Amino acid sequence: MGFYERALSKINRGGNWDMIVIDGVVGVGKTTLMNIMSEKGYVRFEEPVVDNPILEKFYYDRERYSFPLQIFFLNKRFKHIKEASKVKDAVMDRSIYGDVIFAKMLKDSGEMCNEEFELYAELFENMIEHCKAPKLLVYLETSVDAAMDKINKRGREYEKIVEREYWEKLNSNYRAYFEQYNISPILKINVEGLDFENNEKDKKYVLGLIEEALGKIK
């Protein structure tokens, strides 16, 4: 059993929460899709990036800030998902389920020491025991080049300084994680070349896939 599968095995198996989680690498369009779904009546729960005092520091000194950043995210995501679990038709931009992807990548690269990672993993497992799985997880797939192009266009300076190797490792870890993900129905959508923010045909295509997946669950 791989690390991701082992960590997720701790989840509460007593049914599913009434929420859709959208996940994928940085720049893939998670927030955009969440906003589109909120226009359809879903209640949005956005990833805690705007008020994050550590995120920008992390990109300039990953070894120094990897552990406090992951603890910050883990804490906020646990709080977020508890709030979302009380709402009908919640939609989340990332969540606690995939938080381990970043932590494991940072540990494997030596930017988080083993002791820090073990503490993080223990905290994650303690928290995930109190979480149920979402009714559907939507994984947006794309290439590293396409993700980097979107990252550069949105213009966050602290993201633009990051070397390509980091984004390649992140994409690789995401694919490994979702090969082992088994706690809920999952819909994988390759969004390479799609513009579901501005192109109505692409938007209908993506929303249609989600509605079809939800229909199968019901």
**Rounded average pLDDT over 102-121:** 95
pLDDT, average across residues 24-36: 90
Has 202 been labeled as part of a binding site? no
The domain locations on the chain are 3-217
Amino acid 159: pLDDT: 76
User: 78 and 127 in contact (C-beta within 8 Å)?
Assistant: yes
pLDDT digits (tens, 9 = 90+) for 34-78: 999 999 999 999 876 667 889 889 989 999 999 999 999 999 999
Given the residues 51, 93, 145, 149, the one annotated as active site: 93
pLDDT digits (tens, 9 = 90+) for 135-162: 999 999 988 888 888 877 776 777 777 7
Tell me the pTM: 0.90
Please check if 70 is assigned to a binding site. yes
Q: Which CA distances in Å does 8 have to 67, 87, 115, 122, 178?
A: 20, 23, 20, 12, 11
* 46 annotated ligand-binding residue: no
Is 93 an active-site residue? yes
Strands (DSSP E) found in the chain = 12-23, 43-45, 90-93, 132-141, 186-190
Kindly report the CATH class assigned to 3-217.
alpha beta
What local confidence, expressed as pLDDT, does residue 155 receive? 61
Mean pLDDT of 18-31: 91
Under 8 Å between Cβ of 113 and 160: no
Q: H/E element holding 196?
A: none
Is 30 known as a binding-site position?
Answer: yes
